[in-house]
Amino acid sequence: MNEEEEKMEGEEGTRRRQGGGLWTVWGGALPAPPVPICAAVAPPPLPPPPPPPLLPPPPPPLSGAVREQGRRAPPGIMAGCGSQLSACLFEYDTPRIVLIRSRKVGLMNRAVQLLILAYVIGWVFLWEKGYQETDSVVSSVTTKVKGVTRTNSSNLGVRIWDVADYVVPAQHDNAPFIMTNMIITLNQKQGNCPELPDKNTVCESSADCIADSVSTHSNGIATGNCVPYSDTVKTCEVTAWCPVENDTHVPSPAFLKGAENFTLLVKNNIWYPKFNFTKRNILPSVNSSYLKSCIYNSETDPICPIFRLGSIVKSAGHNFQEMAIEGGIMGIQINWDCNLDRSASHCVPKYSFRRLDTRDSDHNVSPGYNFRFARYYKDKNGTDVRTLIKAFGIRFDIIVFGKAGKFDIIPTMINIGSGLALFGVATVLCDIIVLYCMKKKFYYREKKYKYVEDYELGPSDTYGTEQ
């Protein structure tokens, strides 16, 4: 077979393979069997189903060590927990800062900050001395009254009154009482006598009196007899100290009107336990000769501890002679405010005065201050006799208060920290103006806040660390 025939045979074989009419074999091509035209082509048979897979035998029971190892977290979870702990310890989060170029907001922010700075420096540190530790005062007070006066009355005659007569009681804690007026009932003895006349004691006969009765305002216990009180009035008889006291009329002017010139020496010792600081109101610069001659004056003698009674009442805005008739209560206030960062010589008392009992002309029920006391003795027959005195006077309550301060680092740092925290008010105020009041509030909100939707990360997510 020549080359031309081989070429033709190869082309014919190729056509047969493409048309599906020949079976291609090595060395040539065999003709395909004829297929009837009308015969149906049967589908190829389905392959049989594969046999079910054989289950492996159950594994042998695990030992305790193997089971414990199975409970442990996989290495990936342990690595994730470690990374979270590392992020918590070694990463820092900072808030987002938006710079807004606005003259209005900028000036308002600086103005608020300036006000806060002025408050912290001016009020907290300079006025209130917020850099100091403070302590309250502990004090003791003793007093001494001096003065002599003379009276001339119908029942007592001419009489000299000194300290032992008008200071009752002789010793009193922080509140000496000085008698300025009185009602005296002399030579009282226990017995039977007529009661003072009033609507409950006036009688016509003994039938109007109830024996052994006693009332709140009676001077004794009723005997049940009706006896003459005067030529025209009868009252029920009582067993009491007789004659009974008649206090319906208070002497005016005051019986001891000369008490206006009496003097009161106040000795006050103070102690600040936290700083172990002590001092007294009689200063080291005061000597005996000065103390004997000085009288307190807020302008000329502000350190003198001796006070004239009339001046005390006048300094409180009242008249001594009017107050002396029914009595009252005066307050002498001693203020010890000491800055112990300075010299101790600058720690001096400051005195002030005010009336403490209420004096209202529209509601003048039971005014003033009074009480009763008696002086007892025996007459020549050995009978107990007393002189009853209803004393009106002025009680001087001495009130000591004060505060000492000294530099301490702890209150200083606390107040500095509080002041710095107040600067956040400026930021909050400006945020309110910018985000809710300005025309571009929606634009500023968009720039200030970053909104992030919540979603779950898949295994391929990299948290934005890989691009």
* Tens-digit pLDDT profile for residues 383-397: 999 999 999 999 999
How far is C-alpha 366 from the chain's CA centre? 37
pLDDT at 10 > cutoff 80 = no
Domain residue extents for the chain: 100-130+409-448, 138-195+244-358+368-406
- Write down the mean pLDDT value for the chain: 83
End-to-end C-alpha distance for the chain, whole angstroms: 70
| Burial classification of residue 446, based on how many CB atoms lie within 10 Å of its CB (0-12 exposed, 13-18 middle, 19 or more buried) | exposed
Residue 359: HSE in the Cβ half-sphere, 13 Å Cα cutoff:
17
Asked whether the predicted pLDDT for residue 58 surpasses 90, the reply is: no
Fold of 138-195+244-358+368-406: atp-gated p2x4 ion channel fold (2.60.490)
CB 267 within 8 A of CB 280: yes
Q: Is 363 helix (H, G, I), strand (E, B) or coil?
A: coil
* Band (209; pLDDT cuts 50, 70, 90): very high
CB 331 within 8 A of CB 355: yes
Residue 287 has pLDDT above 70, yes or no: yes
Residue 82 has pLDDT above 90, yes or no: no
Question: Residues 6 or more apart from 349 whose CB is under 8 A from it?
Answer: 268, 281, 303, 334, 335, 336
Structure tokens at 70: 């199975």
d(CA 352, CA 335): 8
Report the pLDDT value the prediction gives residue 406, as an integer from 0 to 100.
94
The contacts of residue 8 (CB under 8 Å, 6+ apart) are none
pLDDT per residue over 298-349, tens digit each?
999 999 999 999 999 999 999 999 999 999 999 999 999 999 999 999 999 9
Phi, psi of 71 (to 5 degrees): -75, -20
Phi, psi values for residue 431, rounded to 5°: -60, -40
Rg of the chain taking only CA atoms, in angstroms: 56
With vertex at residue 239, the alpha carbon angle to CA 233 and CA 240, rounded to the nearest 5 degrees, is 95
pLDDT tens digit sequence for 123-159: 999 999 999 999 999 999 999 999 999 999 888 889 9
Structure tokens at 390: 């209803």
DSSP state of 108: H
CATH, domain 100-130+409-448, list 3.40.50.1170, 3.40.630.10, 1.10.443.10, 1.10.287.940: 1.10.287.940
- The residue that leads in pLDDT, 37 or 243, is 243
In Å, how far are 15, 29, 266 from 36, measured between CA atoms? 22, 21, 148
More confident position, 205 or 361: 205
pTM to 2 decimal places: 0.69
- Burial level of 337, CB count in 10 A (0-12/13-18/19+)? middle
Q: Copy the structure tokens of residue 298.
A: 């807020």
* The pLDDT of residue 39: 45
Q: How many CB atoms are closer than 10 A to CB 195?
A: 25
Provide φ and ψ at 238, rounded to 5°: -130, 155
Calculate ∠ Cα 418-419-424, nearest 5°. Answer: 95
